[in-house]
Amino acid sequence: MNELTVTMKHLPPQMQPYEKCASFGPEFLTDAELIACIIRSGTREYTSVALADHLLDLRKGREGLKGLCSLSYEELTEVPGIGRVKAVQIQCIFELAKRMSRQEAKKMLNFSEPERIAEYYMEDFRHKEQENILLLLLDNKSNLLGEKLLFTGTVNSSIISPREIYLEAFKFHAVGIILLHNHPSGDPTPSDADRRVTRKIRDAGNLLDIPLLDHIIIGDKKYVSFHEEGYL
């Protein structure tokens, strides 16, 4: 499929995303039209808007912007009409959105408040297709000393090692830790494995006098805090 033969200028003026945006503002554009403004051109078979619609439907079971955000560079460049430049542009737009979200959340961040922690990491974690387990290391005033990605995959008590976690805690002179991970399903309800891992880390921390302060599970714009739910 040859690229760049059908562009937005071939569309009737009232259908051109650029014209709509200039006249009414970006909030009046559909998701496909917004993406079309970014990729700018289509192919012989598709206008830029039709190509954008195709991109939004590409991740079956996870259609829309959330699905598009989850596509890798390699997956994007496999789509006819999406070359290196367009793939990079799409990924950069989503990365900017994530950074803006984290920048706003950081202004109100307090690592003693589960809701604030969840808000801060939400955009980074809720789109991931595998579980990612993050260790947060805190000082005696609940300030963040550092963070470490422990594992990518399925949470399993045989894989998550208290030894690795508390070696990191000693390295940073942390006086408390928080675990944070995502559920790709979007449902943050703790599984039996989540509870087993939490008990294992909590018990080790109690012995070492470096308590596990919380375990926060990120879903799709939802979270569960073991501390808030009384699981710790």
Residues 181 and 215: their CA atoms lie apart, in Å, by 8
Q: Which domains does the chain have, with CATH numbers?
A: 3-101 (no CATH), 112-229 (3.40.140.10)
pTM of the model: 0.61
One pLDDT digit (tens) per residue for the chain, 232 residues: 444 444 455 555 556 888 888 888 999 999 999 999 999 888 888 889 999 999 999 888 778 998 898 899 999 999 999 999 999 999 999 989 888 877 766 666 778 899 989 988 887 887 788 889 999 999 998 888 989 998 887 665 446 789 999 999 999 999 999 999 999 889 999 999 899 989 999 999 999 999 999 999 999 889 999 999 998 8
